[in-house]
Structure 1
Amino acid sequence: MKLFIFKLRDFLPQRLASPAPLAPSIRTPLLLVHGEGDAIMPPAESVRAAEQLTAAGVRASISIEPRLGHQVSTAGLADAASFINYALA
């Protein structure tokens, strides 16, 4: 038996927003929540993803959290809860 070891980064693009979406679901709304101070993945990536998804017909919205890095905040969780309530209404 041969064992193959792959690094996940070998299969993923540099950034999640880099490739164009293949077949987005235009009936499912999407919320992107991002920290303004995120040094791991710049907020511009979420902005770009939202623009590309919107252009593809997805109801995408974005929330940029001021002064937040690469973490989850209570404000972001509240935005997500409100969005889920809206999306399921």
Structure 2
Amino acid sequence: MGADPAVGLTAETRLRMGGDQRVAAWTERQRAKALHAGTYEAAIHNMLWRIDGQADHNRQFYLYRVRLKPTVAVREGWVVEPGDFVGAMSL
């Protein structure tokens, strides 16, 4: 099932998000996000963009290299990324 993205939310944050039902819906949306397995260069570009464009200059960034199983579903060809304004993509 994976990690629970809501595990660190305080009671105040949960209330501000609209209560337990809305937190549960948000949690499911977070769990449905896809892993972007792009190039290392794209990861660096994204990191620098976030540092400059999203005021993340004081945040620690971690870049990982991953090995995908041969059976993993990968979309062939280049397409415009269907992410939203913060880069989140859903399955």
Query: TM > 0.5 between the two?
Result: no
Greater strand share, 1 or 2?
1
Shorter-chain TM-score range: under 0.3
- Name the TM-score, length of structure 1 as normaliser: 0.26
